[in-house]
A = this chain, B = another copy of it.
Amino acid sequence: MTAAEAQPILDLMLDGSSKGFPQDCPATRLGDVGGLGLRVTRGDLDYPVAVLKRSALAHNAAWMAEFNRRSGASLCPHGKTTMAPQLFQRQLADGAWGITLATMQQVRVAYGHGVKRILLANEAVAPGAIRWLQGALDADPGFDCTCLVDTPEAVARLEASAQGRRPLPVLVELGIAGGRTGARGIPAALAVARAVRASARLQLRGVECYEGIVATQDPAADRARIREWLAGLGELARQCDAEGLFETGCVLLSAGGSAYFDLVVQILGEVRLSLPQRVVLRSGCYFAHDAGLYQRFLALLEERLPEPLRMERRLLPALEIWGQVLSRPEPGLAFLGLGKRDAGHDAGLPVPVRSCRPGAAPLPAPGSWRITVLYDQHARLELPADAELAVGDLVGCGISHPCTTFDKWQVLYEVDDDYQVLGAIRTFF
């Protein structure tokens, strides 16, 4: 929030008014949190607290780097998932080509924290936002920001507000009938591309789609539909190329949420143009991964992988929410101080994965423990009547859908494998 550029993240002061920070600890500079000697499992923090496991983040980063080394694609991870510039910088250091974002406010946060190549995977329609973008591009020759267009009207709209020196690079978005944004079908998308070519201020840099929008409960049908859609994106690129519509030295072919990126690299990797090209994957959830929705998606993805892309290990869930038992009012019931304000609940409820008495070593949570209801600030944990879980004990939960969990935290705590706090990660939602 609030004037992201104004203060370096590490200089922000934290105290007990920030979720997770110990209540009985003096206000501390965010950059000094790793030196406090805090351990999540010793009860040193305030609960609930959001925890990122450094080893799992590093593993997932290496996994994705290896996947893209084999696939030849470039990673432009979706930053909307974490909105954490500290993690963006880590992703860039790990070789990411740029950072993808969903709104101009998100672009502002990333650019304000030094991200110089941004893919705004959305239409830019607000005149004020377009003016800001144009101004930033003109003022900073090192800033590279590409956005989407899906109708000739959107092209005209961008052009009307982009009154600057540098051209605005755009990708034509190909949609699907009944889907989300994007031109419906190749002829419509081609008309948009021609409008970009004809415009004085826009520059056609490539084509784009978001294949994840068609996901249903039928993996085989999804696979077929996504393959066809991605093949259509390749065909659109070929037709744009044949008409000489691209105004770039390297055509971008971009797709890829976090569930079908294997199909993206395979199908877009086969496209052949007269110009150099780059397949740009936008997966954002690979980094934190989860213990729910994306765990299921990745299991299906792994089954689909052909031999050259088959990975030896799996992505690991890096994000956990730890809550404290506030009440054990009945033998088979515990209530954790952890609710909808703390964990995503749109794609499954949190899953207990570990528990401990503060100070003791955490043990795996029995499979019989289930969070069955999430209230605003409480979780209802059902467990066997003889379960050893007392008021004050700590329960670590895996989550489902990182995007709707990160956004409930302004500060997350990065830990080692013993849950010792190594540092703090700030988000800007």
Contacts and interface: CB of A to CB of B under 8 A. Distances in A.
Q: Identify the 3 closest CB pairs spanning chains A and B, nearest first.
A: A4-B17, A3-B13, A181-B327
A270 interface: no
B123 A326 contact: yes
B16 A391 contact: no
16 contacts: A18-B105, A22-B128, A24-B127, A80-B376, A122-B377, A123-B327, A150-B329, A151-B327, A151-B391, A178-B333, A180-B335, A184-B329, A340-B346, A341-B404, A341-B407, A408-B429
A23 B128 contact: yes
Interface core residue of A182, A327, A328 (most chain B CB under 10 Å) = A327
Contacts of A428: 17
A229 interface: no
B105 A46 contact: yes
A102 B43 contact: no
A317 interface: no
A132 B24 contact: yes
Contacts of A12: 2-3
A352 to B, nearest CB: 18
Interface in A1-48: 1-6, 12-25, 27, 30, 43-44, 46-47
Contacts of A404: 340-341, 376
Interface in A77-96: 80
Given A16-B108, A22-B128, A346-B345, A337 B2 contact: no
A17 B25 CA distance: 30
A16 B104 contact: yes
A112 B17 contact: yes
A15 B27 contact: no
Interface string A162-195: 0000000000000101111111100000000000
Interface core residue of A25, A109, A326 (most chain B CB under 10 Å) = A326
A56 interface: no
A122 B112 CA distance: 39
A403 B342 CA distance: 12
A380 B182 CA distance: 13
Interface in A100-120: 102-105, 108-109, 112
A326 B109 CA distance: 21
A17 B46 contact: no
A108 B46 CA distance: 12
Interface string A189-226: 00000000000000000000000000000000000000
Given A153-B390, A177-B330, 17 more contacts: A1-B17, A2-B12, A16-B104, A16-B105, A17-B112, A17-B428, A23-B131, A43-B127, A44-B128, A47-B126, A80-B377, A126-B392, A175-B329, A181-B327, A181-B329, A345-B346, A376-B403
Nearest to A328: B151
Given A15-B4, A184-B329, A429 B410 contact: yes
Contacts of A123: 326-327, 391
A378 interface: yes
Given A46-B126, A327-B182, A2 B22 contact: no
Number of copies: 2
Interface of A is mostly: loop
Contacts of A74: none
Interface string A316-333: 000000001111111001
Nearest to A373: B180
A408 to B, nearest CB: 7
B17 A109 contact: yes
A122 to B, nearest CB: 7
Contacts of A129: 16, 23-24, 46
Contacts of A153: 390-391
A12 B2 CA distance: 7
A410 B428 CA distance: 10
Nearest to A407: B341
